[in-house]
């Protein structure tokens, strides 16, 4: 598991009581996970490694232990370094975003003090990831980010990413136009998966017309593959989709 930053929509203060509770535009997250997190609960349940950057190692190790898991499941990957899971090499790359830990995930006294002052806890910078597979596939996971020079210098020139997963949601991250620039001019992969659209992007398995997602796909100039629930996409070593797209 990869965690780019600790905003509530990523770390998970709650989860659904059952699959597909609510509707796409307003899901029902009625089961509370804080002060632990959905991220930790999934890692414990799946006995998965949790790879993180920033100043989060000790924080998540303690959360993992409190949830009945093994603190050793938490693996820290600093900028410029690489961790390995099986044959997959994972490294963190910079992201332009914020990374304040909400008070809900802290013990009551500290959380209440921060909340009373309108503050979050500092846990270091956010990150993106580059995953390098043994077949040659190199995937850039942007996390939540704006446009950065590293998308050209580090992600494209050094790691040579050939598949990208890019946020397109606007307001809090790059919007469709900015994301198109990142993909077409900076990263230049062979395929792209749009993410974090902040909208109802599909209906009955089809992209909604004039949505952010549709505008991004129309403008990006390379194969763009929309993730759909229950469908697994597979990519070859060159970053081109071979099934599920």
pLDDT tens per residue, range 127-184 = 999 999 999 999 999 999 999 999 999 999 999 999 999 999 998 899 999 999 999 9
Return the percentage of the chain with pLDDT > 90, whole number: 92
What integer is the mean pLDDT of 177-206? 96
List, in order of start, the domains of the chain with CATH numbers. Answer: 8-243 (3.60.15.10)
Confidence band (pLDDT; 50, 70, 90) for 72?
A: very high
Does residue 66 carry a pLDDT above 90?
A: yes
Place of tokens 């975003």: 97
**CA 51/CA 69 separation, integer angstroms:** 15
Q: Quote the pLDDT of residue 112.
A: 97
What integer is the mean pLDDT of 82-87? 92
Name the DSSP class of 41: H
Tell me if 186 sits within 8 A of 174, measured CB to CB: no
Name the DSSP class of 186: I
What integer is the mean pLDDT of 14-25? 89
Judged by phi (left if over 0) then psi (alpha if -120 to 50, else beta), residue 129 lies in: beta
Does residue 54 carry a pLDDT above 90?
A: no
Work out the angle between the directed axes of helices 38-46 and 57-66 (0-180°, nearest 10): 70
**CA 43/CA 242 separation, integer angstroms:** 29
- Main-chain dihedrals φ then ψ at residue 57, nearest 5 degrees: -60, -55
Q: Quote the pLDDT of residue 24.
A: 80
Q: What is the pLDDT of residues 27-44, one digit of tens each?
A: 899 999 999 999 999 999
Q: Quote the pLDDT of residue 80.
A: 85
What integer is the mean pLDDT of 44-59? 94
Q: How far is C-alpha 185 from the geometric centre of its chain's CA atoms?
A: 22
Among 51-60, 110-119, 236-245, name the one with the lowest average pLDDT.
Answer: 51-60
Q: Quote the pLDDT of residue 149.
A: 97
Question: Can the peptide bond before residue 35 be classed as cis, meaning omega within 30 degrees of 0?
Answer: yes
What integer is the mean pLDDT of 73-100? 93
**CA 218/CA 212 separation, integer angstroms:** 10
Name the DSSP class of 134: T
Confidence band (pLDDT; 50, 70, 90) for 103?
A: very high
Q: Quote the pLDDT of residue 23.
A: 87
3-state SS class at 152: helix
Where would I find the H helices in the chain? Answer: 8-11, 38-46, 57-66, 108-116, 150, 176-181, 212-220
pTM, 2 dp: 0.95
Angle 10-235-194 from CA coordinates, rounded to 5°: 40
**CA 192/CA 240 separation, integer angstroms:** 9
**CA 245/CA 233 separation, integer angstroms:** 6
């Amino acid at each position: 598991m990869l965690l780019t930053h600790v905003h509530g929509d990523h770390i998970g203060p709650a989860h659904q009581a059952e699959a597909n509770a609510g509707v796409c535009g307003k899901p029902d997250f009625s089961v509370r996970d804080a002060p632990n997190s959905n991220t930790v609960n999934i890692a414990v349940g799946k006995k998965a490694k949790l790879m993180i950057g920033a100043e989060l190692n000790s924080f998540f190790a303690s959360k993992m232990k409190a949830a009945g898991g093994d603190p050793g499941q938490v693996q820290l990957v600093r900028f410029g370094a690489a961790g390995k899971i099986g044959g997959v090499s994972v490294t963190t790359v910079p992201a332009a975003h914020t990374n304040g830990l909400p008070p809900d995930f802290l013990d009551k006294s500290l959380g209440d003090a921060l909340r009373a002052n309108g503050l979050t806890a500092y846990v270091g910078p956010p990150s993106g990831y580059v995953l390098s597979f043994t077949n040659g596939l190199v995937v850039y996971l942007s996390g939540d980010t704006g446009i950065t020079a590293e998308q050209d210098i580090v992600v494209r020139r050094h790691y040579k990413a050939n598949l990208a997963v890019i946020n397109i949601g606007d307001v809090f991250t790059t919007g469709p136009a900015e994301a198109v620039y990142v993909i077409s001019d900076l990263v230049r992969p062979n395929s792209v998966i749009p993410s974090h659209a902040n909208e109802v992007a599909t209906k009955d398995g089809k992209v909604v017309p004039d949505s952010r997602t549709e505008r991004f796909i129309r403008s990006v100039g390379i194969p763009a593959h929309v993730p759909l629930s229950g469908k697994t996409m597979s990519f070859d070593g060159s970053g081109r989709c071979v099934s599920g797209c």
